[in-house]
Amino acid sequence: MEVKKIFLPESEMPRQWYNIMADMPTPMEPPLHPGTGQPVGPDDLAPIFPMNLIEQEVSTERWIDIPEGVLEKYVIWRPTPLYRAYDLERYLDTPAKIYYKNEGVSPAGSHKPNTAIAQAYYNKVAGTKRITTETGAGQWGSALAMCCSFFGLECKVYMVKISFNHKPYRKLMMQTWGAECVASPSNETEAGRKILSEDPDCPGSLGMAISEAVEAAVGDENTKYSLGSVLNHVMLHQTINGLETQKQMAIAGDYPDVVIGCAGGGSNFAGNCLPFVCDKIHGKEIDIIGVEPSSCPTMTEGPFAYDFGDTVQMTPLLPMHTLGHNFVPAPIHAGGLRYHGMAPIISQLIVSDLIRPVAIHQLETFKAGVTFARTEGFISAPECNHAVAMTIREALKAKEEGKEKVILFNWSGHGLVDMAAYQAYFEGQLEDYPLPAEDIKRALADIEPLPKPKQYRAGNL
Interstrand relation of 97-102 and 406-411 (parallel, antiparallel or unpaired):
parallel
**Per-residue binder mask for a copy of itself (CB under 8 A), 46-85, x = binder:** ----------------------x--xx--xxx--------
- Which stretch, 93-101, 196-204, 312-320, 409-417, contacts a copy of itself (CB under 8 A)? 409-417
With CB under 8 A as the rule, give the number of residues binding a copy of itself.
Answer: 49
For residue 165, state whether it binds a copy of itself (rule: CB under 8 A): no
What phi and psi values does residue 40 have, to the nearest 5 degrees? -80, 145
**Per-residue binder mask for a copy of itself (CB under 8 A), 85-104, x = binder:** --x-----------------
For residue 4, state whether it binds a copy of itself (rule: CB under 8 A): yes
Q: Would the CA dihedral through 156, 162, 167, 168 be positive or negative?
A: positive
Find the binder of a copy of itself among 304, 411, 422, 456 (CB under 8 A).
422
Residue 357 C-beta-side C-alpha neighbours within 13 Å: 25
- Nearer CB in complex with a copy of itself: 22/419: 419
Interaction with a copy of itself in 6-45: which residues (CB under 8 A)? 7, 9-11
With residue 209 as reference, give the H or E element that holds it.
helix 206-218
Q: Which residues pair with 98 in a beta bridge?
A: 407
For residue 442, state whether it binds a copy of itself (rule: CB under 8 A): no
- Smallest gap from residue 144 Cβ to a copy of itself (A): 13
- Nearer CB in complex with a copy of itself: 245/380: 380
For residue 250, state whether it binds a copy of itself (rule: CB under 8 A): no
Cα–Cα distance measured from residue 147 to residue 153, given in angstroms and rounded to the nearest whole number: 8
- Nearer CB in complex with a copy of itself: 322/391: 391
**Per-residue binder mask for a copy of itself (CB under 8 A), 114-153, x = binder:** --------------------------------x--xx---
- Smallest gap from residue 75 Cβ to a copy of itself (A): 4
Cα–Cα distance measured from residue 322 to residue 6, given in angstroms and rounded to the nearest whole number: 37
Find the binder of a copy of itself among 178, 196, 252, 431 (CB under 8 A).
178
- Which stretch, 46-54, 296-304, 404-412, 417-425, contacts a copy of itself (CB under 8 A)? 417-425
Instruction: Report which residue type is found at 201.
Output: D
Residues 6 or more apart in contact with residue 48 via CB below 8 angstroms: 214, 217, 218, 224, 225
For residue 172, state whether it binds a copy of itself (rule: CB under 8 A): yes
Ranges of H-type helices in 108-205:
113-125, 139-151, 161-166, 168-176, 190-198
232 within 8 A of 20, measured Cβ to Cβ:
no
- Nearer CB in complex with a copy of itself: 171/224: 171
Interstrand relation of 356-360 and 406-411 (parallel, antiparallel or unpaired):
unpaired
- Nearer CB in complex with a copy of itself: 166/325: 166
B/e letters for 171-184, b = 16+ CB within 10 Å, e = fewer, are: bebbeebebebbbb
Cα–Cα distance measured from residue 316 to residue 36, given in angstroms and rounded to the nearest whole number: 10
For residue 251, state whether it binds a copy of itself (rule: CB under 8 A): no
234 within 8 A of 144, measured Cβ to Cβ:
no
Give residue 138's region: left, alpha or beta (phi > 0; psi -120 to 50): left
Find the binder of a copy of itself among 419, 445, 458, 461 (CB under 8 A).
419
Interaction with a copy of itself in 345-404: which residues (CB under 8 A)? 369-370, 373-379
Q: Which residues bind a copy of itself (CB under 8 A)?
A: 1-5, 7, 9-11, 68, 71-72, 75-77, 87, 105-109, 146, 149-150, 168-169, 172-173, 175-178, 369-370, 373-379, 414, 416-417, 419-420, 422-423, 426
